[in-house]
Structure 1
Amino acid sequence: MSNRLLESIEPKEVFRYFEDLTRIPRCSGKEENVVAYLISFAEQHGFDWWKDEKLNIVIKKPATKGYESRPTIILQAHTDMVCEKDKETVHDFDTDPIKIEIEEDRIIAKETTLGADDGIGVALALALLADKDAKHPNVELICTSDEERGLVGAEHFDMATMEGDVLINLDANEEGKFVVGCAGGPVVRIEIPLERTTIVPNGMTALNISIRGLTGGHSGEDIHRGRVNSNKLMVRTLVSLNHELNYMLGDISGGIHYNAIPRETEAVIFVNAQEKQKVIETVLSYRTTYKNEYRVTEPDMEITVQECLDGSDNLLSDLSKKRLLDFLYLCYSGIVRMDAEIAGAVESSVNLGTIHLEKETAVIQMMTRSSLESAYREMYNQIAYLAECVGGTVHIMSDCPEWEYNPSSEVKKVFHKVYQEMFGKAPEFFILHAGLECGVFAKKTNRPMDMIAAGPTSKNLHMPGEHLSISSVQNFWRFFKEVVKHI
């Protein structure tokens, strides 16, 4: 692979593997090429490996001399990435490498996601296995597939094939802050039946309303930052318009992934041609209101309304319009409750991730999260009840278990001691308001697993502009090599 941008940056091996991964298409569910890359890596270094039918792959490296009697360490990262881009960006995630740039201390993809989640975790693990000078006990590396769509690979992985009782997940994204527990919850698919009509009154004009330029972000880790959900903002607009005048709804679509805060939503409405200008002025007045409300968190918000061409056979009946808007308006999206014990931590939240209208069905995807199983079950029950009220049905797409905090964790003590000695300050430990595969692994094994999640700093996950801190990778790499020597 030529024309390498990162080849002179230390640690060279880590960034070499990371840059390789940016050049390998690996959207969720399409990990064949990255798995082939990992197999080639294992065979090149003479490591034992195997993969299962879900494209999870395990690579094993024996302990270095003098560390044979220490506990086996399981390293774990996931091979897939969230593939999201700006709407106007021309990029084929099935074939095109990620376009990366260096800005001061950051490696960034400006128009797409970068894939640092979790490409940097995979790169760090490969660099450790390839490092002939690194000291460590027996290492088992699990690279799981399809994590971003609901921990699918981990759910199908056979933990009985692993020997280690200590697991280091490399999917955390803030250097010096280590995860010791995480939220769980189901991903819910809602289907609301639609009736279409081809009987459109004469003199109707189609208008496209577009909300773009929002910040978006990770639906768990960024849910507390006050960012606007474009789907909810569009529904607010449509319901407000409904109070002003009569219109027919042709379409509404927004969001790309249920686990990302949606940044863009569009709707097509049909209005009397004589009221077209009034509608435009009304929507623009809403824009002024929204931009004032969210002037801090959404400085780049764009809301446009303009005439468009649309077929007259694509309109919802009045009843279907009401049922759909009732559900979307009344369903909650955002923080449900803060943690009562941990200051500043989110306990429970919901994300209205995607809306898509098919010919006869509105398909909506929502993600629930909580560190309490009882809380996310209640959120699911509320979604299901509301869907039933509008004639819809619900289906659990995936169900991520929570990872319960273990206050007696020995690996946590090791991480604390080594970090304190290396950097002269204590690290932070916290419960993540997002799903990690640790919860699945804990559920799938009949023996105690001592687990922790760690990684260098990366920001803007699941959205264009995702970036990775170079200095943080450098700090974490030194720490990572040192900590595995002390487990």
Structure 2
Amino acid sequence: MLSTLKPKSIWQIFNDICKIPHPSHHEQMITKYIVDFANTHHIHCELDKVGNILLTKPATKGMENCPSIALQAHMDMVPQKNEETIHNFTTDPIQPYVDGEWVKAKGTTLGADNGIGLASALAVLIDPTIEHGPIEVLVTTSEETGMHGAFGLQANWLKSHYLINTDSEDEGEIFTGCAGGVDFTSTFAVAYAVIPEKHDCYISVSLKGLKGGHSGCDIHLGRGNAIKLMARFLAEYAQDISFRLADIKGGSLRNAIPREAFAEMTLCKQDLPQLESIVKQYQTILNNELGHVEPSIQITLSEVTSDKVKRVLTIEHQNKIINYLHAAPNGVVRMSDQLHGVVETSLNLGIVNILENQLNTHYLIRSQVDSAKDAVVSTLISLSQLTNANYEISGGYSGWEPNLNSSLLQLAKDKYYEIFSQKAKIMVIHAGLECGLFKQTYPNMDMISIGPTIVSPHSPDEKVNIQSVIRYWELLIAILKSAAQLK
């Protein structure tokens, strides 16, 4: 039970959060919980026009003259589940459980990203033992699907000059910069034909078992992208058979590495043994190439009923789709020359589907360098033009430029060493923290990002390390207690 874990206040609040459905754009219930929480504990609370929440608490006795510090978290979570898991993220609670040193969820994302950060900020507001100066807690909306709350943050609402973002995922690392990002959507109309008369076999091809993960934090780990692997199968291997493609889909979020992809096709039953042989061959190839990082990857065939497949794509559009997806860039584009081991530029092909006679693909591009981000966008524009596709560029935001002279960073470094007798790592994350957008509205704000260790966010394998939550909490409390040193 989470109630037995320490720090008790964080885990109790996090357990409450898990009971409340709160995927992006479905945040009414979690908003009500936070407002009710504030009212119950007599904490001042305001909402802005985009749904962000600001809670404020006066300084504890003797710290009234300390500078105000804002704690910041987002209220939404990424809704991902295993195919066999029955779960409605808009109505069903997350089911967390303790597994040794970790807290996990049954068959779904856990929501520790950013639920633990949110729980810690709320816990600060109600813990009478914590010494601190004036506190603001900013809770933003719909971060995971485009940082809508951060984009809509109004000037002069926050009074704090210092802000601690709680959305990083490696305890022992203090983040002082992040990548910028932009969404790219490409669409083109597709045409259908009748199923060939001799095609008496209807097959679903499933590619599953991949780890997936965060398209920023995990993009450099060499994990497979299910969409790209399915496209490769159709382009390189299945072409030996005369098949007709009826449908293709994969992924569900542009900021999560796709774990699964599916294709439906028709063919002559006499060609089924050859297709089965090709699938077996491709399985061996995938195991050989990706087995060390993707040990559970599996490609399988299953027959579907004829009433499910009513039509197939024309040969022209079948080839167009397969070639487009096979040629689509994906993954790490360049590593940073200045920051060892940090990805500079990447993109994630996160979603593909055919809806209403239209192929839709969704990418998320990230980079520490705006011009490099623009170069990837230009590549996708060229690919779209080659296929006569329409495209849309949206949600662009700049990165958060590191400030190694930050007084808040120096205080956090000092306190980490003082508590744990070891140096914290100063990092820049290849993910989109909201700090980059906060800087546009509050250009003089001094910010850092810290958090506990969360593994495989944005996937059903997400888990948070229990001991790291304790260490993160100790550091957070120590920074708040030492706020006077920020003067």
Structure 2 residue 385 is the aligned partner of structure 1 residue 396: no
Structure 2 residue 437 is the aligned partner of structure 1 residue 440: yes
Cα distance in 2 between the residues matched to 1:199 and 1:7: 58
Cα distance in 2 between the residues matched to 1:35 and 1:199: 50
Please, which runs of 5 or more residues in structure 2 have no aligned partner? none
Correspondence 1:97-112 to 2 at 5 A: 97-112=93-108
Instruction: Indicate the residue corresponding to 2:427 in structure 1.
Output: 430
Correspondence 1:79-158 to 2 at 5 A: 79-158=75-154
Please, which runs of 5 or more residues in structure 1 have no aligned partner? none
TM-superposed deviation, 1:165: 1.3
Contact 1:181 1:430 in 2 (8 A): yes
Correspondence 1:258-297 to 2 at 5 A: 258-297=254-293
Structure 2 residue 184 is the aligned partner of structure 1 residue 188: yes
Instruction: Indicate the residue corresponding to 2:411 in structure 1.
Output: 414
Cα distance in 2 between the residues matched to 1:343 and 1:263: 28
Contact 1:110 1:466 in 2 (8 A): no
Cα distance in 2 between the residues matched to 1:407 and 1:199: 63
Instruction: Using the TM superposition, name which of 274-283 and 78-87 deviates more.
Output: 274-283
Evaluate the alpha carbon distance shift between residue 207 and residue 134 of structure 1 in structure 2; reply closer, same or farther with a 3 A threshold.
same
Instruction: Indicate the residue corresponding to 1:48 in structure 2.
Output: 44
Cα distance in 1 between the residues matched to 2:314 and 2:430: 39
Instruction: Indicate the residue corresponding to 1:257 in structure 2.
Output: 253
Structure 2 residue 66 is the aligned partner of structure 1 residue 70: yes
Residue 423 of structure 1 aligns with an amino acid whose one-letter code is: F
TM-superposed deviation, 1:153: 1.3
Contact 1:74 1:168 in 2 (8 A): yes
TM-superposed deviation, 1:161: 1.0
TM-superposed deviation, 1:279: 1.3
Instruction: Indicate the residue corresponding to 2:360 in structure 1.
Output: 363
Structure 2 residue 12 is the aligned partner of structure 1 residue 16: yes
Q: 1:103-140 CA deviation, whole Å, 9 max, x = no partner? A: 11111114100000000000000111111121111111
Matched residues, number: 482
Contact 2:195 2:266 in 1 (8 A): no
Contact 2:2 2:97 in 1 (8 A): no
Q: CA RMSD in A?
A: 1.3
Structure 2 residue 223 is the aligned partner of structure 1 residue 215: no
Q: 1:206-257 CA deviation, whole Å, 9 max, x = no partner? A: 2111001111111110011111001100000000135413321111110011
TM-superposed deviation, 1:312: 4.9
The two structures have a TM-score, normalised by structure 1, of: 0.97
Contact 1:100 1:107 in 2 (8 A): yes
Cα distance in 2 between the residues matched to 1:246 and 1:69: 77
Identity between Structure 1 and Structure 2 (%): 35
Instruction: Indicate the residue corresponding to 2:311 in structure 1.
Output: 314
The two structures have a TM-score, normalised by structure 2, of: 0.97
TM-superposed deviation, 1:316: 1.1
Cα distance in 2 between the residues matched to 1:312 and 1:164: 59
Contact 1:192 1:324 in 2 (8 A): no
TM-superposed deviation, 1:54: 2.2
SS at match of 2:436: helix
Residue 431 of structure 1 aligns with an amino acid whose one-letter code is: V
SS at match of 1:22: helix
Residue 377 of structure 1 aligns with an amino acid whose one-letter code is: D
Contact 1:458 1:468 in 2 (8 A): yes
Instruction: Indicate the residue corresponding to 1:373 in structure 2.
Output: 370
